[in-house]
Structure 1
Amino acid sequence: MPSPSVPLAKLGFLTIGSFDADDPRAGHETTLEVIELGERLGFDSAWLRHRHLQYGISSPVAVLAAASQRTSRIEFGTAVTPLGWENPLRLAEDLSTVDILSGGRVHPGVSVGPPMHFADVRETLYPDTADAEDFTYERVKRFVGLVRGDTASTFSGVEGIEQFSDRVQPHAPGLADRIWYGAASLNSARWAGEQGLNLLTSSVVKAFGPDDTDFAAIQHGQIEAFRSAHPDGAAARVSQGLVVIPTDSATAEQREKYTAYVDARTPRTAKPQGPANMLFAQDLVGTSDEIAERLYAHAAFRDVTEVVFALPFSFAAADYEQILTDIATKLGPALGWSPR
């Protein structure tokens, strides 16, 4: 296994927080317990993904507020919040509140574009304004500005016994510098750099065409474009988010389950999918040494010193405990990382 020339600096994990529709509290509690476990294992961060109208966490901000009161050190992120579902002012208020409650541990990750299945939800989500809503980068710029302290109202001052501010309250100093943009395309990565944001990469990229199948090379190019456009250049923060499943302490039954999960998802990685040419990365399953060797061979992994490894979707709590424990105690150290 090759030795790292630069140690991995930050190690996080991502979960969608699945739950049973007939007993949603249990799944939410499991998600909070996973975050608590992550803190005990020394992970730097725990991230939640929005799952609107699905059986996964639909309100990561609310769950992270709860997690902030059950932990003291681990940082929190959203990967990602699709802003097409959100009012930027209200989201800025909610995230600023959780950042204050957590002591400055929030890392909002956002993306743009129309909501998924927009034709099916537009009359519920935006019954009067659907045609007027702006789902472009401007929505991100509004959100970032409001978090930063831009004017949100033409009125401020005292009215009766109430005092009003003309900017989002509470104001969370430093939160704007911790905003990440989830980019899948080269243009999005470049735009995020121009805005001075941090870059979240994942296990999905937009290929240039149906014959473009080198995932690592595409992601490497996006990271280069981002840093070339960013004011901080090579020091601009980038986090990679592949799916890794170490098996060091797994039982034979778990290894069989994990292998079947990866095998079922591998065919979609052979070529770009759909009219948008979305290309998926292969999930990495095996011992920590085997996974580390494959990561060091990955052109985009060699560009980063931060990762947020994505947990598989519908595994049992015991599986997540085993996977997270192996990542923290085996894979992370193999990549030069040390627990906090």
Structure 2
Amino acid sequence: MRALRKLGFLTIGLFDEADPRAGHESTLKIIELGEQLGLDSAWLRHRHLQYGISSPVAVLAAASQRTSRIELGTAVTPIGWENPLRLAEDWATVDILSGGRLNPGLSVGPPMFYDTVKDALYPDTAEAEDFSYERVERLLRFVRGEKASDFSGARAFEEFSDHVQPHAAGLADRLWYGGGSLRSAVWAGEHGMNFLTSSVVKAEGDSTDFAQIQRSHIEAFRAAHPLGEKARVSQGLVVIPTDSATPEQVARYEEYVARRTPRTTQPQGPARMLFARDLIGTSEQIAEQLHADVAYQQIDEVAFALPFSFGHDDYVQILTDMATKLGPALGRPAAQ
């Protein structure tokens, strides 16, 4: 069992189409609260053509100016929607603004519902776009400071660089790959990235034991990584502590979990995706379940996911319990 070293949270940042500013402001306030409570990291999901944050890089730039300590991450940015060179520039800029606190997470593959959006996203190159790991490798090269242009030097009154500017020293060491398959875990390790493992994995063999599958991914990642057992892994289960929740909140939370539990009983769809059960209860009850989880036993960083559809006050309660009750129950002292 590893001692819990970093305790963070993940949110989708939902908003009302009729008043999007309020939802984005709520997300920023939640990140500020996380810092005040002494949490180590705040992560944003990335949503396109939905009512969740479509531009985490912009929201995290804002958050960087309203916080001073908490690490800021994306979990994850689907790189199929992105130009790797432009994304490298954006991430480097936000990392500079944050003082070196950005932890970008990404995943590979074509955009979701690609056939419905490809004409808007890539009208001239839709069939030629490469959504393989090579797209990630291009991003890694740019973030690491390798050449992006064949020209550098003066041109008229302007100076040009042949690599991404600004260069954010240390950012490359804080890049994360979000994977749910054995192949993705090994690939991330071989390429020296950190590894985000969430509440979804692929049941590729005979086993349908979520924790055992997740543990096998963690072990494969570290076996392939140059740092071995010291390679960073973060686990992102859905965790709902109820220590200070009202009876009305507890009832809503339990109903939410009950609606989502049936999908955890067996692999879903042709890809055989397996979902972890949401963890709900007092912090002591949740800590007991986590300590018995064979995947959790292999990590020392977590970014627990906030339920997607809850309200601002619910998130305040959950984060407060997470920082003041659950963290200590897992062996991480509460902030003073």
Q: What TM-score does the superposition give when structure 2 sets the normalisation length?
A: 0.99
User: Which of 73, 79, 104 in structure 1 is aligned with 2:75?
Assistant: 79
Could you tell me which of 280, 284, 293 is aligned with 1:289? 284
How far apart are 1:303 and its partner, in Å?
A: 0.3
Matches within 5 A, 1:323-334: 323-334=318-329
Residues 10 and 42 in structure 2, CA contact (< 8 A), matched pair in contact too: yes
One-letter amino acid matched to 2:192 = G
Q: How much does 1:339 deviate?
A: 4.3
Q: How far apart, CA to CA, are the structure 1 residues paired with 2:299 and 2:239?
A: 16
Structure 1 counterpart of 2:254: 259
Which runs of at least 4 in structure 1 moved beyond 2 Å after TM superposition? none
The correspondence for 2:312, drawn from 317, 324, 327, is: 317
Identity over the aligned pairs, expressed in percent? 72
CA-based RMSD of the aligned residues comes to 0.8
Displacement after TM superposition at 1:212 (Å): 3.3
Using the alignment, how far apart are the partners of 1:329 and 1:286 within structure 2?
15
Partner residue, 2:37: 41
Q: Which amino acid aligns with 1:94?
A: D
User: Which amino acid in structure 1 is aligned with residue 127 of structure 2?
Assistant: D
Tell me how far 1:6 sits from its aligned partner: 3.5
The match for 2:232 is 237
| 1: CA distance, partners of 2:275 / 2:43 | 20
Corresponding residue for residue 301 of structure 1: 296
Matched to 2:302, the amino acid is V
Deviation at 1:7, TM superposition (A): 2.2
Give the residue type in structure 1 aligned to 2:57.
V
Mapped partners of 1:213, 1:191: distance in 2: 23
Which residues of structure 1 form unaligned runs of 5+?
Answer: none
Query: Hey, what's the Cα distance between the residues in 1 that align with 2:183 and 2:149?
Result: 32
Counterparts of 2:61 and 2:224, CA distance in 1: 34
Amino acid in the other structure paired with 1:99: D
TM-score, length-normalised on structure 1? 0.97
Q: 1:92: which partner in 2?
A: 88
Aligned counterparts of 1:45 and 1:137: Cα–Cα separation in 2: 27
Quote the Cα distance in structure 2 between the aligned partners of 1:63 and 1:316: 19
SS at match of 1:35: helix
Equivalent residue number for residue 205 of structure 1: 201
Counterparts of 1:267-282 in structure 2, within 5 Å, are 267-282=262-277
CA distance in structure 1 between the partners assigned to 2:105 and 2:334 by the alignment: 23
Give the unaligned 5+ runs of structure 2.
none
- Residue 338 of structure 1 is matched in structure 2 by 333
Q: 2:14 and 2:25 mapped to 1: Cα distance?
A: 10
Kept in 2, the 8 Å contact 1:289–1:334? The answer is: yes
Distance 1:191 1:339 in 2: 35
**What CA deviation, in whole Å up to 9, does each residue of 1:253-311 have, x standing for no partner?**
00000000000000000000000000000000000000000001111000000000000
Say whether the 8 Å CA contact 1:212–1:272 is kept in structure 2.
no
Matched, 1:6 2:2: yes
Partner of 1:246: 241
Once residues 259 and 307 of structure 1 are traced to their aligned partners in structure 2, the CA distance between those partners, rounded to angstroms, is 22
> What is the letter of the counterpart of residue 56 of structure 2?
P
**CA gap 1:90/1:339 in 2 versus in 1, 3 angstroms:** farther
Among 144, 148, 157, the residue aligned to 1:161: 157
Q: CA deviation at 1:190?
A: 0.6
Partners in 2 of 1:338 and 1:101 — Cα distance?
A: 29
